Structure 1
């Protein structure tokens, strides 16, 4: 290396002799040791842009089979974060690796542009300016949302390019593109036409702060403290069938809930036949309100003690109550007599969701405020109607969180106005307090408390949501699609037919599909693709192909704004339909429907892509997000998934394992890492992580990757310097020395690892193997052994030529193998080696001929290296004790009593392999005190100094230094090399 050259020149100058460094093939390269990535990488980005690398990649690959990774669209509403960087780097490595292995791997980036994240930002700007969104024409507001998204698309584009991402950034897909909006609307109309779309009234998650319905994918679970209450329901004497409830007629069924505000919506109590119940009597009470001695209460036996303790009551168990006794039983509502609106009967209904893990063993059932409540209520609705129990589900809470007139005594007629569940900022209102006070006044409260638990919050506003019954637009999950399938069954089959990496993703997505309710599509917002249908007063949809065609043509030309333009209703209905008979739906589509439809206007509509995609890759949260909605959308309209493979990655945590957050000041920003260390360092971190799981990142981890990068870079730098002297002379494989054949065998083995690793998306395996190869097998072994021949041998030396040829093979393969992972560094290295080349990214992985494979040779050299390890271990002690300065000063005695190890080195120049000036091998046992390694049996080393003089050119100590009078201070080998060089005029 260069340092060696400086040492040789220094010694020659000191001795006043010929500067032999000028006669050596020392490494020479302009490839710098210090990478300077923060400065170099933007230059390469500019170069790729100027040369039109993306177009050249497409032109080169136009006749190859397509390999398509469909991009899950990020929201266009801010700078990229570390999660974006991880995600895009993984995608880039996949597409580049397939591109360099015989495919046309076209990557088209995309953006999600609609929905609440962007709309919320514009509303924040309005609030800051004192503007009222409701006073602004809807299309003017939508225009501002569009401009906001367009700005951030530009910003994120440059940030992704700076990461080294290569793709069609000039023609990305965006969900707000007019064609995209038309296609999204067209997909919705397919669901409408097939009868899968319907208007229904079900309890859904609702954001009071954002005034819209939310899907499961739009919520996150945070710790929350709720009011917990135990409520008494008086058992009515007569059962629904006219029978007698005997000794239960004066008892109370007790329920437990953490949402007191839902009590006005109670319409039933659920129980389970799997639970053991008992009738209990209060014997003593120490409370200000609640049960008194003599009261009878029904509880699950497993929960009675805990419940009575909470109410500070003493009790006795009177008898077992069998579940059959609840059949046909009804109760009075606990607010019976309050507000004049709770005089109906509350039936007891069996429910599979009821357990005795917590509460009372009975579940308060408010069908307007919970999915399971709704399902139980609807399941028994016909039986209830037959018993003259009204099954109408009340709308007790409005979109702003206020009680309505369906909650008598708490709604707008209440003194002081309607009570409120949550306010505009997501803080608790007075609804819980009002209900609890009413229950105390009705002597219906058994006990009260507080409970800390996880509760759903909007992931945008970070505020709690509520469950409320509202009219929404749904897609059926279990409707017969006239071919014996349902959307659910199609989706489950598609999951079984899809490859998941890691495999656990399949189980997770399957569980979500098996258990999910009907798909809620409607959102009560303004920015997005509208649910562009017309409905009559009963919710029946207008089905008219001519109307649909007019809608889609308008969206294609004008975008979805056409739906909100003046006169849109009359325009689309035309002369065939009376506008007075039809309501134009103004809800917008859930943005997951938008992103779930991207396969239509990218994979299907672009001739440079294909449907289905080979792979979708996103974070593990997308099992309930993009993977999920894409699956449902495609199965509902095409009968199968839009992807063949689904890959998931985890989330990036701080170095100590905690979640990154602004408050903890432990965030890592990709922009900072690139500015300080370079994008390739960030990319190397991604390659070295188990990305399928949650990863960690911090300064220590970054430094670890910087250190690994330096080792890789220095190995490449040495190869470049050495290959400066490569004149392209070829050596037949059969004529190569064993050591060169060994390295070619290792290349063959690594080729298998690399290709299989890229196929399995196991980048850490590739990275680990290549780094170990470069550091342990090249720098610390092969290059170390061959430096003498490469630097000092004569130009005609077959060993030197073979070594150069092998270094050439190693360089070409390592650099192309690593190019998908470290595109900047490998581009710089490739152009340094091949100045006239266009780009390493236009290259293909080099083949490794099968003749390079030699397992027997590899097994032999494993033994050779075992012997070498003992020798170098002994020499290391000699150096440490300063008995030698360089291993070339040594000529150790090696005692090998193991026949297999001794046979393995037969015919090899072990002095060259161990980098000594001489070596003696004996089969006799070593004398006492010889050096050994505990894990190697049969090899011992006795250190000894080499005899002779030090060659002024190669530094080897030999007995033939001075044997050539023309060059009296060098060995005979070096003298021959000098003579040959001199004859060629090279010095």
Structure 2
């Protein structure tokens, strides 16, 4: 009989693997089918019922509160990243035996949606101001509703498990009522007030903006040095006489609003005189200027003073009481400009003297306020100067640099001709610098003082102090991000919560027209909240003020406020209408968002909750990074490097995207692109093949085959020990929320410990041993455990593939997502055994390296054609001599030789190739190849009935 014929003869006696689980995932087609199946079998309801049962049994409750994405446009890769991490964490806690309810949410109010509706108006030639406010709000609501539905479907396509039919949205009537109730809490406790403050203002959008709504881009600004003639010299020796204080600014348009100049008492200043000037300089010889000593040389260079003399040096404190004239004095700006001490003045740039326009800068505002200097509101909502402003009425501030410089030039020439102290424009240039822009309109913003509604950070409620205190008890992942949030809270000003828009929850309060005091009445606020519960925030626009004020107050005496509340206040209030209800913990166990939310949702939620309840709304914060392209660049349509999650779903499958997330360092910025996704596809295939191998090896497995732990061979016990180690890794991640590295560790186990080691060794026993043999039964016992562990451990990430692998074994009526993580008996953990197998594998690597060398050199074609001469010292023989090395290194024969008196040959092995007897010797095995198991053995041919088989295979075939 030829070899091929004999092989064919015994093929059916080999227990080859069989499974319905295909090698190729076909995820883009398979995943939607699984989603449909989940809906058909009522998986979400079954999960909910299991949670109810656990709650009744007293199981621990875990609550991750969902930070609401904005209902505007399709999901981007950052949405997918964040939601997948949340889903993995929720699933893991649920499979760890906890009660988990995940309520997804949406942020639905605010400027981005309003801006979209306005864009449609502009295309149609309509003016938003001509549209009734209720009609406009209805269009905004419909827009948000449509995108909420779209995003919900897209999240579900990613495999995210949540109570989608029980989602929350800030535009729900109940939510709007709760938001206004939260505003009322600040109103009634005294923290809410209306004040005039400079805030970030978008002239394009005509509203105040929060810091979280600002992004920074390069911007070219005109820069000018301006001279303010000193008119009141407080020094006894008249050191400032005839001198001009010089400021430098990147915002020439703020010069009309100047009311003071700031200096620092710790800086030394000089009065310098221009001795010679460059040809193109605006400065005349003999002009005297006051500047900081450390900046004098740089100043002279920038304004074209070729040489100068120092007339006086004087400490900053000597400037107390000095007064300058506004450079446009005589042109409608006839007021004094006092020099005031300010700690914020530095010598990093400019002149060491800072121009203060209290309407357009925070430091400026507070310094002038402390000196009882009023604030002039000179800029309209759209960024144009007010009609009453001399010289510049109606000019837009972003077009004001030339007109302002022209007037300052006229002043300069006049001062030269009259031989007065130098006044006006000293020099003009430009600078490219990082400048704040609205992240919605992408247009530059300004600081503008307007009457706004604020929540005080440092009043009697001490919100800032209490917020910093409660943060000490919050866990941060990664730990170093703690400083980011605490520093932001420590330095933030009072919270400006008002916006001058239409789509949102109004700051539903009343102001007494005569006293300008806000009405703080609990009964009035309750009427407002009750109306919002039934009619939503539209009730504020449809109802007369008397409905809320009642008979106690005359509606004519009050102003009804129609500013809407900052959307960050809304999202920061979501804890109030989600947590602490329906089995959801308050505070939440976890908030998880991107790193930008330290100035956004993490902070607004903290301040809102501390201000109303005195506690943080979360016990832990996890931060994920941003997603960049493969070159580390920000994604943009212009670069063509945008990776849309919908495209990945359609081309590769959501499980590939989920695997990418959990194989990445999500604490830092992540990268994604075609090559990276291709790599994830390769990793996925290895995991899938591991599951397929397990399923193939378990074909027909029943509990009757199981072998007790005590009867397992040592190799199987080692596998179970490794499972206990992986179980600890999973448990640590569940408890700490630190998942970085967990699934790469699991992947390494599958590829290195299983596929390249355990599976390779046990393939022979699984395929060729008798079905009743202890060794084969032990292998299948462990494969059963491996399948259950790997399916449940992979289920939080590969939610579709793990389900498919579970169904392939247990049938369509079962779901892995109703299972728990396997428990690990304490006897499985065996450190001594594990250490021994570390040594065994080290020896094995040495042997297999020599086998591979022999194969490359043509001595053998496959490892089963090899025989190995293996030498051990006496000490090593005690450790390693008991093992079947032919089985461990997958050769046909191993002859062990013990060298008496030899030192350790492997544990301290040196490279002595060709010299010592510690190098395994690989040769061609003697005997014949078994037609069934392919081992080359001398015993093949000893059985007359089956001369092509080894004795082991003869026994199996005979039965």
> TM-score band (shorter)?
over 0.9
The answer as to 2:954 corresponding to 1:954 is no
CA contact (8 A) 1:237 1:250 kept: no
Partner of residue 367 from structure 1, selected from 358, 362, 375: 358
Counterpart-to-counterpart distance in 2, 1:959 and 1:123: 88
**Given that residues 896 and 940 in structure 1 are in contact (C-alpha distance below 8 angstroms), is that contact kept between their aligned partners in structure 2?**
no
Paired residue for 1:399, among 371, 381, 397?
381
Spell out the pairing of 1:83-122 with structure 2 (5 A cutoff). 83-122=78-117
Match of 1:972 in 2: 951
In structure 2, the gaps of 5 or more residues are 413-423
1:320 aligned counterpart, secondary structure: strand
Q: Contact between 1:245 and 1:329, CA under 8 Å: does it hold in 2?
A: no
CA contact (8 A) 2:464 2:489 kept: yes
When residues 83 and 17 of structure 1 are mapped into structure 2, their CA distance, relative to the original with a 3 A threshold, is closer
Match of 1:883 in 2: 859
Q: Distance in 2 between matches of 1:757 and 1:171?
A: 28
Please name the residue that 2:896 is paired with.
921
Measured after TM superposition, the shift of residue 935 of structure 1 is 11
**2:419 pairs with 1:450:** no
Look up the match of 1:410.
Answer: 392
Whole-Å separation in 2 of the counterparts to 1:131 and 1:814: 60
- Does the residue aligned with 1:613 lie in a helix, a strand or coil? coil
Q: Distance in 2 between matches of 1:454 and 1:464?
A: 11
Report matched runs for 1:70-469 at 5 Å.
70-239=65-234, 244=236, 246-287=238-279, 290-313=282-305, 314-338=307-331, 340=332, 342-381=333-372, 391-405=373-387, 407-411=389-393, 418-421=394-397, 428-429=398-399, 431-443=400-412, 444-469=424-449
Q: Which residue of 1 aligns with 2:752?
A: 776
The answer to whether the Cα contact below 8 Å between 2:940 and 2:949 also exists between their aligned partners in 1 is: yes
The range that moved more, 14-23 or 713-722, is 14-23
Residue 17 of structure 1: how far off its partner (Å): 6.1
Aligned to 1:560, the other structure's residue is in SS state coil
Shift of 1:979: 2.0
Q: In structure 1, what is the Cα distance between the partners aligned to 2:860 and 2:200?
A: 77
Match of 1:385 in 2: none
3-state SS of paired residue (2:97): coil
Relative to structure 1, is the Cα distance of residues 646 and 436 closer, same or farther in structure 2, using a 3 angstrom cutoff? Answer: same
Q: Partners in 1 of 2:912 and 2:483 — Cα distance?
A: 45
Is residue 2:44 matched to residue 1:54? yes
Q: Equivalent residues in 2 for 1:681-760 (5 A)?
A: 681-728=656-703, 729-760=705-736
Give the deviation of 1:883 after TM superposition. 2.4
Preserved CA contact (<8 Å) 1:233 1:334: yes
1:586 to 548, 559, 562: 562
1:246-297 deviation digits (Å, cap 9, x = unpaired) = 1212111111100001011111111112222211110012355632111111
Secondary structure class of the residue paired with 1:235:
strand
- Note the C-alpha offset of 1:610: 2.2
Q: Distance in 2 between matches of 1:19 and 1:552?
A: 84
Counterpart Cα distance in 2 of 1:911 and 1:869:
13
Taking structure 1 as the reference length, what is the TM-score of the superposition? 0.92
1:514-564 Cα offsets, whole Å, 9 max, x none, are 111100011000000000000023431112222212211110001000111
Which whole-Å CA distance do the structure 1 matches of 2:388 and 2:785 have between them?
Answer: 80
CA contact (8 A) 1:42 1:162 kept: yes
User: Structure 1 CA distance, aligned partners of 2:926 and 2:29?
Assistant: 52
Pick one of 525, 533, 556 that aligns with 2:533. 556
> Partners of 1:900 and 1:88 in 2: how far apart?
55
Aligned-residue CA RMSD (Å): 1.8
Contact residue 266 and residue 315 of structure 2 kept, 8 A: no
Which deviates the most, 153-162 or 230-239?
230-239
Q: Equivalences for 1:839-858 in 2 at 5 Å?
A: 839-858=815-834
- The offset of 1:12, in angstroms, is 8.0
Structure 1 match to 2:417: none
**Inter-partner Cα distance in structure 1 for 2:33 and 2:2:** 41
Contact 2:157 2:654 in 1 (8 A): yes
The offset of 1:877, in angstroms, is 1.7
CA distance in 1, matches of 2:918, 2:928: 29
**Counterpart of 1:3?**
none
Deviation for aligned residue 1:933: 8.0
Which has the larger displacement, 521-530 or 14-23? 14-23
Label 1:359 to 1:900 Cα distance change in 2 as closer, same or farther (>3 A): farther
Q: In the alignment, is the contact (CA less than 8 A) between 1:265 and 1:366 conserved in 2? A: yes
Specify the alignment match of 2:768 in structure 1: 792
Partner of 1:945: 924
Give distance in 2, aligned partners of 1:665 and 1:300. 49
Deviations along 1:752-783, one digit per CA (max 9) or x if unpaired, are 11211233333332111111111011111101
Between the aligned partners of 1:489 and 1:17, the Cα distance in structure 2 is 81
Show the counterpart of 1:618: 593
Among 850, 858, 862, the alignment partner of 1:874 is 850
Distance 1:238 1:319, change over 3 A: closer
Q: Distance in 2 between matches of 1:93 and 1:771?
A: 16
Please tell me whether the aligned partners of residues 662 and 797 of structure 2 are also in contact (alpha carbons under 8 angstroms).
yes
User: 3-state DSSP class of the match of 1:672?
Assistant: helix
Kept in 1: contact 2:77–2:627 (CA 8 A): yes
* C-alpha distance in 1 between matches for 2:81 and 2:727: 26
Instruction: Name the SS of the counterpart of 1:154 in structure 2.
Output: helix
CA 1:191–1:972 in structure 2 vs 1: closer, same or farther (change >3 Å)? same
- Which deviates further from its counterpart, 282-291 or 682-691? 282-291
Are 2:604 and 1:629 aligned?
A: yes
Per-residue CA deviation, residues 643-664 of structure 1 (Å, 9 max, x unaligned), is: 1001111100010011111111
- CA contact 1:198–1:539 (8 Å) conserved in 2: no
Conserved? CA contact 2:65–2:591, under 8 Å? yes
1:43 to 27, 33, 38: 33
Asked if the contact 1:256–1:364 (Cα under 8 Å) also holds between the matched residues in 2, the reply is: yes
TM-aligned CA deviation for residue 962 of structure 1 = 2.1
Give the distance between the partners of 1:261 and 1:775, measured in 2 at CA: 66
CA contact (8 A) 1:867 1:939 kept: no
Deviations 1:733-764 (A, max 9, x none): 11111111111111111111121123333333
Q: Structure 2 matches for 1:621-700, cutoff 5 A?
A: 621-700=596-675
Task: Report runs of 4+ in structure 1 exceeding 4 Å deviation.
Answer: 932-938
Q: Does 1:802 align with 2:778?
A: yes
Paired residue secondary structure (1:54): helix
Distance of aligned partners of 1:887 and 1:867 in 2 relative to their CA distance in 1, 3 Å threshold: same
Q: Distance in 2 between matches of 1:578 and 1:875?
A: 98
Any idea what SS the aligned residue of 1:170 has?
A: helix
Q: CA deviation at 1:901?
A: 4.1
Contact 2:223 2:250 in 1 (8 A): yes
The answer on whether the counterparts of 2:368 and 2:374 sit within 8 Å (CA) in structure 1 is no
| Aligned pairs, number | 932
CA apart distance, 1:97: 0.4
Q: Alignment partner of 1:894: what SS? A: strand
Question: 1:572 aligns to what SS in structure 2?
Answer: helix
Secondary structure of 2:349 counterpart: coil
